[in-house]
Amino acid sequence: MRKGFLAVLIIAFVQVSFCQNYKFGKVSKEELEEKVYPLDSTADAAYLYKNRRTYFDYRQGQGFIVITEVNERIKIYTKEGYDWATKAITYYTGDGGGNSEKVSIKDAKTFALIDGKVKSFKLGKKEIFKEEVNKYRSQKKFTMPNITEGCVVEWSYKITSPYNDIDDVVIQFEIPVKKFVSSIKIPEYYTYSNKHIGYLRIDLKEEIENSSITLTSKNRTTSGRFNATTHFSTQKINFKTKITKITKTNIPPLLKEPYINNINNYRAAMSYELASIKWPNEMPEYFSLSWEDVAKTIMKNEKFGIELEKTGHLQGDMIQLKSSLTTLPTKIFGALQYVKNKIKWNGNYGKYTEKGLRKAYKEGTGNIADINLTLIAVLKELGLKANPVLVSTRNNGIPIFPTKTGFNYVIAVVETKNGKLLLDASEKYSLPNVLPLRVMNWNGTIVKKDGFVETVNLESPTISEEESSLSYKISEDGLIKGMNRTKYKNYAALSYRNRYGSLKEESIISGIEENNDDIEILNFRLANLKDLSKPLVELYKFEKEDGVEIIGDKMYITPLLFETTDENPFKIDTREYPIDFGTPWEEKINITIQIPEGYTVESLPENVANGMSDDMGKFIYAVKNQENKIQVTSLIKINNGIIPANYYQEIKEMFKQIVAKQTEKIVLTKNK
């Protein structure tokens, strides 16, 4: 009995030792033999261990610098996980003033089990590449050698920065993490605000330790004409260091669920922002700002607010524009179209002008600020109350703290008696309050010349509408011939125009045929593709072979044909993130089916009407038989562009019903 108990203790000790052995460079045979990640057998890779240390190091003549050291050990389970053997480390290269961050990579190895033995393969220096990301940032990038299924990769790198910024402590990734450890050490002279990002719980452990630095100074004294003596003295300065530690195990992966604007907004992390610096015997210097402070500072910048005052180059063209645009709607729409045609977007974001309004206007190209600040200037010339709106785009995330880098885009707002209209002239097919999706990200900040600042909701108040009228008849052998007419309004029209607007008709037809279950389009007509003031209308005749299922004397019809929603996008049991559709939307489909001669209706789907609580959305499905025709109506309506996560079960259930109902068959029986 005692021997058995001891055996159990030994096995337990070995298991615990395996789980806790994270010494760098010591990959175990057990780690390499592991076939799947124990807590998630679907994982293609997993962090076995990730350690992040950030601390301040004092250097004579330079002051404090920030050093971040990272160790990572990743297990590759499948070929699909090979991408995790490539690492890119982004760092700041400065503005030409010599204050560049430095990155050093060491001890990068691939470990594999060969003939039952642990073998390692070292990454060579020549296999590390530097790539320029943009004017201010670069990457050190490498791919580990000898990657195979089951291998383990490990590396260590250090970032040395002359700046006081502390990068986010990212805890959650697209693959699971077995163990994560981090420590942030900050001298008492620096105060940072920190904020928890994401929904995963993070437990912080804080402690204080005694630290010191030794300063060396030299003094030179002279006696007589030729005698000089140099004296060195040292001074030891004691101070406190605050240490914040995070230790977390078995972190689940961050799932890329449908309808998420930017997954990084929900990734578990701790964000740090410098609030103040207080040196001994000196007044503190404060860095924390309000969004009002940030907006006012930007407004005073010579590449922003000052540019709005330089409108002399517009005067000549404005005379004709003013004479042709006389009502409020025509002024707003006309100004938007005028700037679109005058200045083309060069693809660059920016809240500050790149060329300046005059040069961009003359050359016909510019960045976002060049275009939309010109739009604001034109709107003002037409006598409208227009102002800039600072925006953080979806790929830029939602700023956690008020910072000047939080905004990367600017649009225009016009204030009318009936409310505010948001405009973006960089988008070829945009309309008032119909913005490109990249802009619809939480809130924007309106800034005015008098320093007044106001928040505006960027979620579109204009519903995206798509309405189809589909009529068809079925032959005895299952051939379907019919006509489809679809009207697109607002964002639905913008999306369609962006997808097909630059294509020839043949390419548009091919795209529709491919997306609509390989139907054959016989006649095609598109109305108002370029006329943005009207809804876009698509009309075509079509044929579809084997469009119904015939078994014996029965015919089974999926009535919505290629308009059918046949898969529920919401599959997981629970969801912590909001459902982001970008804009409220409505899809209405009216179907008329001519019953084949010699057949009668055996069964029809039952009607349903399902509404979500708080009027978030609804689904209506109605079927009726009148003489030799079947009428089907399907309506899906979502009343909010962003649905909070607490409605997830409702919307999941509604889409489950949509799929079930739209795929349900109509059954016809052949008369005897």
Helix residue ranges, H only, 231-290: none
Query: Would you state the pLDDT for residue 222?
Result: 66
Q: Choose among 161, 140, 179, 142: nearest CA to 69.
A: 161
Higher pLDDT, 133 or 556: 556
| Region at 30 (left for phi over 0; alpha for psi -120 to 50; beta for the rest) | alpha
DSSP state of 353: -
363 three-class SS: helix
Query: What is the percent of the chain with per-residue pLDDT over 90, rounded to a whole number?
Result: 82
Lowest-pLDDT choice from 84-98, 258-272, 387-401, 536-550: 84-98
Is the per-residue pLDDT at 218 higher than 80? no
The mean per-residue pLDDT over the stretch 276-304 comes to: 89
Q: Across-strand partners of 141?
A: 88, 129
DSSP state of 548: S
Query: Would you state the pLDDT for residue 221?
Result: 65
| Region at 64 (left for phi over 0; alpha for psi -120 to 50; beta for the rest) | beta
The string of pLDDT tens digits covering residues 489-531 is 999 999 999 999 999 999 999 999 999 999 999 999 999 999 9
Q: Are 357 and 364 in contact (CB under 8 A)?
A: no
Query: Would you state the pLDDT for residue 7?
Result: 42
Q: How confident is residue 10, by pLDDT bands cut at 50, 70 and 90?
A: very low
Query: What is the percent of the chain with per-residue pLDDT over 70, rounded to a whole number?
Result: 94
The string of pLDDT tens digits covering residues 13-54 is 344 434 456 788 899 999 999 999 999 999 999 999 999 999
Is the per-residue pLDDT at 398 higher than 90? no
- Dmax (CA) for the chain in angstroms is 131
Query: Would you state the pLDDT for residue 508?
Result: 96
Query: Would you state the pLDDT for residue 543?
Result: 96
Question: HSE-up of 164 (CA within 13 Å, CB side)?
Answer: 16
DSSP state of 665: P
Is the per-residue pLDDT at 363 higher than 50? yes
Q: Across-strand partners of 387?
A: 413
- Kindly report the pTM of this predicted structure: 0.87
Query: Would you state the pLDDT for residue 95?
Result: 62
Distance CA 392, CA 407 (A): 5
Distance CA 528, CA 412 (A): 26
Query: Would you state the pLDDT for residue 375?
Result: 98
Query: Would you state the pLDDT for residue 235?
Result: 86
Query: Would you state the pLDDT for residue 13?
Result: 39
Distance CA 594, CA 641 (A): 37
Query: Would you state the pLDDT for residue 326?
Result: 94
The mean per-residue pLDDT over the stretch 217-224 comes to: 67
Distance CA 456, CA 295 (A): 13
Q: Mean of the per-residue pLDDT values for the chain?
A: 92
State the DSSP H helix or E strand holding residue 210, giving kind and residue range, or none if neither: strand 205-223
Could you please state the CATH topology (level 3) that the domain comprising 36-277 is classified under: Immunoglobulin-like (2.60.40)
User: How many other β-carbons are positioned within 10 Å of the β-carbon of residue 59?
Assistant: 11
Lowest-pLDDT choice from 396-405, 496-505, 623-632, 655-664: 396-405
Q: Choose among 537, 501, 40: nearest CA to 252.
A: 40
CA gyration radius for the chain? 32
Query: Would you state the pLDDT for residue 321?
Result: 94
Higher pLDDT, 2 or 160: 160
Q: Are 444 and 411 in contact (CB under 8 A)?
A: yes
Q: How confident is residue 225, by pLDDT bands cut at 50, 70 and 90?
A: low
Lowest-pLDDT choice from 24-28, 357-361, 633-637: 24-28
Query: Would you state the pLDDT for residue 223?
Result: 61
Distance CA 306, CA 297 (A): 12
Is the per-residue pLDDT at 5 higher than 50? no
What does the DSSP assignment read for 561-594? GGG---S-S--SS---S-EE-SS-EEEEEEEEEE
The mean per-residue pLDDT over the stretch 326-337 comes to: 96
The string of pLDDT tens digits covering residues 300-317 is 899 999 999 989 999 999
Q: Mean pLDDT: which of 83-92, 273-282, 451-460 is highest?
A: 83-92
Query: Would you state the pLDDT for residue 18?
Result: 45
Distance CA 39, CA 36 (A): 9
Q: Choose among 142, 156, 140, 157: nearest CA to 92.
A: 140
Q: How confident is residue 3, by pLDDT bands cut at 50, 70 and 90?
A: very low
Is the per-residue pLDDT at 290 higher than 60? yes
The mean per-residue pLDDT over the stretch 186-212 comes to: 95
Could you please state the CATH topology (level 3) that the domain comprising 464-670 is classified under: Jelly Rolls (2.60.120)
Q: Choose among 196, 276, 207: nearest CA to 242.
A: 207
The string of pLDDT tens digits covering residues 98-124 is 689 999 999 999 999 999 999 999 999
What are the boundaries of each domain within the chain?
Answer: 36-277, 292-457, 464-670
Q: At what angle do helices 368-381 and 315-324 cross, to 10 degrees?
A: 60
DSSP state of 262: -
Q: How confident is residue 401, by pLDDT bands cut at 50, 70 and 90?
A: confident
Distance CA 250, CA 16 (A): 15
Distance CA 373, CA 352 (A): 9
SS3 sequence, 10-46? HHHHHHHHHHHCCCCCCCCHHHHHCCCECCECCCCEE
Lowest-pLDDT choice from 291-300, 338-347, 425-434: 291-300
6 three-class SS: helix
Could you please state the CATH topology (level 3) that the domain comprising 292-457 is classified under: C8orf32 fold (3.10.620)
Which segments of 501-584 are extended strands (E)?
520-527, 536-544, 549-551, 554-557, 579-580
Q: How confident is residue 4, by pLDDT bands cut at 50, 70 and 90?
A: very low
Structure tokens at 96: 């030409």
Is the per-residue pLDDT at 6 higher than 90? no
Query: Would you state the pLDDT for residue 11?
Result: 40
Beta strand pairing call for 617-626 and 629-638 = antiparallel
